[in-house]
Amino acid sequence: MFAMEWLPGGSLAEFFRDEIRRKDERERKTVYIREIVHVLRQVGEALKYIHESRDHEGNEFTHGDVAARNVLLTNRNLDTCVAKLGDFGLPIDFVPRLPIPWLPPEIVCSLDRSPKHRPESDVWMFGVLGWECATLGAEPHFQRTFEEIQQSFGLPDRGLHCPPNCPMEFWSFLMDCLSEQHRRPRFSGLTDTATSAIYRLRQLETIYAHSNAKLNMVLNISNCTCSQHRCNIPLPPFTIR
């Protein structure tokens, strides 16, 4: 049994659902890019702590499910809230299905070989989390089949289109997180180089500190053209080590 701190702000996914996506346009909260970067930098600091930790055998820890549903908020003011990364330490086969739309290609494309989740995998998932934030809670790879998700990895944007009004500096960082495994920035290690995800996030915080740039909600749009809507069938169960 795991005991976790209760945070009254709920999850970031619940914030997007309750304050943005279920409200009509006049009632929606305005979300600024500076607020999103403020939250993501805190998630990045949590990943840095996780990735720099080791078990008794010296093996590195990873999170395994970096997504808006696992980012917990002390309150719903994104400018001032403390954000914490929850569900750390749960085995990936603990849940009925893997979070396929958030997982990187090195896992999704080799599930038959029981791939290992590494820190670089968390970085990819962080990039997808950033996309969730930039779209104000859209679902990645909405209604795509397993095969379509695999095919999207070959696209320049990995099948996650750049949302309207998304600042290019922020988008460039997300695309680096979604790059080839060896090219992704790292959360562990020194934080004063361009290869550090924390360094990049702190730069973005400085850039947008006084910005009034707003993000727009992106609707979940299905590209499904199949007559039987097989895209609505749940993805198959998998486990990885």
Residues annotated as catalytic (active site), given as ranges: 65
CA distance 214 to 106: 34
Residue 144 backbone phi and psi in degrees, to 5: -85, 145
User: Do residues 105 and 153 touch, judged by C-beta distance below 8 A?
Assistant: yes
Closest CA to 133 of 108, 170, 101: 170
